[in-house]
Amino acid sequence: MLENIEFIKSVYLIKDLPKASKPEVILCGRSNVGKSSLINSLFNRKNLAKTSSTPGKTRSINYYEVDRKFFLVDLPGFGYAKISKKERLHWALLIESYLAESRNVSLAFHLIDSRHKPTELDLKLHELLEYYRMSYSIILTKIDKLNQSQLAKVKRDITEIFPGLDIGYNLFAYSSVKGTGKKLIIQKLASIY
């Protein structure tokens, strides 16, 4: 599982989505939450997905094919203020159109930075996933920046905000630096495929 990953294409317009009908796992969340780092660390590849300390780097829907079985789909990060209002609107429309149009999504991973409480934008994304009846899991990223008691509090808080989360089933704590949580996320993917 997760032995081979290949970048397929970047999509800027919904009409350019891949024609191949394969199951899709989407990565979504705020800008700079760690989606690219997650991809690179899950597949032990340094520069597969471009990482940057500058938020808002991913401006397209990026498709990766995994083990020739499914697509991993990296959606643009949202909420980055230092781009034009027009471009922010384009991203929002692109993401929502994708969620509305795609019939192949098996699972959405909603990434949330463990160091910060979910923002209003996180809550809106959660509502969108619920609205489109998507099966989703939350991944708390950057947990290497927290101590054990801080992490325990974050897990408690997140399950209060989003009831129905179960640690290890649809709630994961992840560090791309240390690899913490990697095995559980791979098991989650394996349970689908």
Between these two residues, 2 and 72, which has the higher pLDDT value? 72
Q: What percent of the chain has pLDDT over 70?
A: 90
Structural domains in the chain (count): 1
Please report, as a single letter, which amino acid is at residue 37: S
Helices (H) and strands (E) counted in the chain, each on its own, are 5, 7
pLDDT tens-digit readout, 43-57: 988 878 866 544 445
Identify residue 118 by its one-letter amino acid code: P
Taking Cα atoms as reference points, which of 59, 38, 11 lies closest to residue 174?
Answer: 38
pLDDT digits (tens, 9 = 90+) for 7-19: 999 998 888 988 8
Least Cα distance to 73 among 116, 25, 113, 108 occurs for: 25
Bridge-based pairing state of the strands 61-66 and 105-113: unpaired
pLDDT tens-place string over residues 134-189: 999 999 999 999 999 999 999 999 999 999 999 999 999 999 999 999 999 999 99
Q: Is residue 172 within 8 Å of 138, Cβ to Cβ?
A: yes
Chain-wide mean pLDDT for the chain?
88
**Site of tokens 């394996």:** 190
Angle formed by the axes of helices 85-101 and 120-131, to 10°?
Answer: 30
Average of pLDDT values for 23-51? 88
For β-strands 105-113 and 136-141, DSSP reports them as parallel
- Tell me the percentage of the chain whose pLDDT exceeds 90: 60
Residue 89, pLDDT > 60, answer: yes
Over residues 126-139, the mean pLDDT reads 93
What's the domain range around 32?
5-192
171 pairs with which residues across the strands? Answer: 138, 167
Check residue 82 and give its pLDDT: 57
Q: What is the DSSP letter of 48?
A: S
Per-residue pLDDT averaged across 61-83, rounded? 84
Q: Which CATH number covers residue 116?
A: 3.40.50.300
